[in-house]
Amino acid sequence: MTRAFDTGRSGEAFVARRLEAAGYHIVDRNWRIRGGEIDLVALHGDVLVFVEVKVRSERQLVAAEESLDWRQLGRLMVAAERYIEQHVEFEDHVWRVDLVAVTISRSGVVRDYQHYENLTLE
C-alpha cells in the first residue's frame, strides 16, 4: 500500500483498479442524476454493485468510513434504483451498495483501504 495519489478522481481510479484486481468488472463511473451520483458501478459475478468511494487524509477529524451518513446512503440507494431503471440490461440482477474507504497520508500514500459490502439503512 505505497501507491501515492491525490484525493478525488484519482482516489476513485485507485479503488477501481483494486476492485478489478479482486474480480470486479467496472461498468460505469461517476453516473449522475439530479440529487445523486454513483462513483462506481461494477459487476461482481452476477451481482451489480454500486460503490461509494470516500477518500480522506489521515489528518482529517472524520475517518473516511464515518463520513457516509444515512441521508447520503439513502440518496445513493435511490440513485441505484434509477440506474437500474435506465439500464434495463441489469433489471434482473441482484444489487447491493458498498463503501470503499481510503485513508491517505499527507504525501498521498495509501495508509488504509477498507471495503464494506452490502450497506443498508437499518
What's residue 75's pLDDT? 92
* pTM for the whole structure: 0.88
Largest CA distance in the chain: 44
Taking the chain, what is the end-to-end CA distance rounded to the nearest angstrom?
33
Give the three-state DSSP class for 35. Answer: coil
Q: Establish how many alpha carbons lie within 13 A of residue 118's alpha carbon, considering only the half-sphere containing its beta carbon.
A: 4
The structural domains of the chain, ordered by start, are 9-114 (3.40.1350.10)
User: How far is residue 115's CA from residue 81's CA, in Å, rounded to a whole number?
Assistant: 21
What's residue 25's pLDDT? 98
List residues bridging with 110 in a β-sheet: 104
User: How far is residue 112's CA from residue 103's CA, in Å, rounded to a whole number?
Assistant: 5
Please report, in tens digits, the pLDDT of each residue of the chain (122 residues total).
444 455 666 788 899 999 999 999 999 999 999 878 999 999 999 999 999 998 887 766 556 666 778 888 999 999 999 999 999 999 999 999 999 998 888 777 888 899 999 988 87
What's residue 79's pLDDT? 95
**Which residues have CB under 8 Å from 62's CB, separation 6+?**
56
Q: Are 54 and 69 in contact (CB under 8 A)?
A: no
